Chains A and B, each alone.
Chain A
């Protein structure tokens, strides 16, 4: 009896073991193909999304530009220019006015502090720099004592500072001298004088409607007594 072989309906070939390497290679290729297709589709979809996003951004940017243009038009550039010009004008006028000097105040101070025995024949005022005004004068005094007294008066004067008398020479008509002094810019500053006059209640400001209408007419109507207009009287006695 042959017991080595078992009868079976299953063919031996079919029962043979499958080839594992061949099957795994095919599956990997399928997976790879699937992944690559998915990647291609995803890349395409992403490109489409980016395209749409770009379109949206462009539309949005265009809308913003239009809004900005409308805002620019709403600013009314001509009005802005007018306001800017007015601002510049106000600032510049304030700066110029702050340095504006009142030479009449200088002459007032000069004639108030000039002795009747002293007169000035020439005057040279240099006010190119309002902060460093220099005045040079040639004068005639009755006596040397008058010059000394005059120097004392000028030293007490708040307008004329650092008076230096020089070239003093006694001549037949009196004592000639030269005077060099500085002018205190704060003492003759136009704005400060106006403010001081307003504060004192004495400033009767007259609105200057025309370009050269005086605003301080009261100051100009004062009768000058000394300084350049003061007539010189020759000394009857020799200078001491």
Chain B
């Protein structure tokens, strides 16, 4: 009888150990490992919080007007209709008229090689759009028109330019020859 009780006790002890204690202990160990990860994450969070505070203090030193200008320099959306209107308005200021406007999106990715090389092809944070149009005018007005593009706040790159001799000034000023300009421009926006 005692032997049977002893054997039952031993079996009971083994069963408790192997069927509950050990699996539970293993799961607790796994949970401890997770807690260690949480601790590490909390530590990193604390460091990041300090970093965020330093970045925030730097961000607060930025002039909001400059940030707004940066937004115009590289907008969030291409808004090609607005862009064409701006170009047309600019051309109008110089007495030139836009003709044959063709907009093609993302067709110039091969052309932005230098910029792509800096950022990396897979990390390129911006996209581009090309606008092709024809206009006419004197060389001097064209220079002013081109200079306005060159130094515009919204970055506009010249992709190609073709100048050919057009007809003389219809207003009778034969000393100022007119030229036909086929211009392809590229502009950018942040993805």
Which residues on B sit within 8 Å (CB–CB) of A51? 24
- Inter-subunit contact B52/A80 (CB<8 Å): yes
Report A-chain residues with C-beta under 8 Å of the C-beta of B152: 208, 211-214
**Does B70 sit within 8 A of A, measured CB to CB?**
yes
> How many whole Å from A238's CB to the nearest CB in chain B?
25
Given contacts A68-B45, A127-B159, contact A103 B113 (CB under 8 A): no
Contact with A along B152-163 (1 / 0, CB 8 A): 111101111111
The SS class assigned to the B binding surface is helix
A92 touches B74 (CB 8 A): yes
Measured CB to CB, the closest approach of chain B to A170, in angstroms, equals 20
- Contact yes or no, B161 A71, CB < 8 A: no
Residue in B39, B159, B177, B188 whose beta carbon sits within 8 Å of that of A128 in the complex = B159
B41→A68 contact, CB < 8 A: yes
Most buried by B among A43, A214, A227: A43
B35: Cβ under 8 A from any A Cβ: yes
B125 touches A33 (CB 8 A): no
Question: In the complex, A36→B12 CA distance in Å?
Answer: 9
Q: Is the CB of B16 within 8 A of A129?
A: no
Query: From residue B124, how far is it (CB to closest CB) to chain A in Å?
Result: 8
Chain B residues lying within 8 Å of A100, measured Cβ to Cβ, are: 155, 157
Quick check: A64 and B38 within 8 Å, CB to CB?
yes
Given contacts A122-B164, A123-B161, A214-B148, contact A93 B155 (CB under 8 A): yes
Q: Which of A67, A92, A123, A190 contacts B163 (CB 8 A)?
A: A123
Contacts of A53 in B (CB 8 A): 25, 28
Contact status B13-A212, CB under 8 Å:
no
Residues in chain A near residue B190, CB distance under 8 A: 85, 88-89, 92
Q: Which residues of A contact B175 (CB under 8 A)?
A: 231
Chain B residue nearest to A97 (CB atoms) is B155
Is the C-beta of B119 less than 8 angstroms from some C-beta in chain A? yes
Question: Min CB distance, B157 to chain A, in Å?
Answer: 6
Contact of B125 among A71, A91, A220 (CB under 8 A): A91
Number of interface residues of A (CB under 8 A): 82
Docked pose: A79 CA to B153 CA in angstroms: 26
Q: Which of A32, A215, A229 contacts B140 (CB 8 A)?
A: A229
A2-10, A12-20, A54-62, A157-165 - interface stretch: A54-62
* A196 part of interface (Cβ distance < 8 Å): no
Q: Note all chain B residues with C-beta closer than 8 A to A149.
A: none
Q: Encode contact with B along A54-86: 1 for CB under 8 Å, 0 otherwise.
A: 100110110011011001101100011001011
Partner of B70, one of A29, A93, A102, A220: A93
Contact A125 B148 (CB under 8 A): no
| Chain A proximity of B142: nearest CB distance (Å) | 9
Nearest 7 interchain pairs by C-beta: A36-B9, A64-B38, A220-B147, A215-B151, A43-B13, A229-B139, A71-B45
Q: List 22 A-B contacts (CB under 8 A).
A: A33-B2, A40-B16, A43-B12, A50-B21, A50-B28, A61-B35, A61-B38, A72-B45, A79-B52, A89-B125, A96-B74, A96-B112, A97-B155, A100-B155, A102-B150, A103-B146, A123-B163, A124-B163, A125-B160, A127-B160, A217-B147, A224-B143
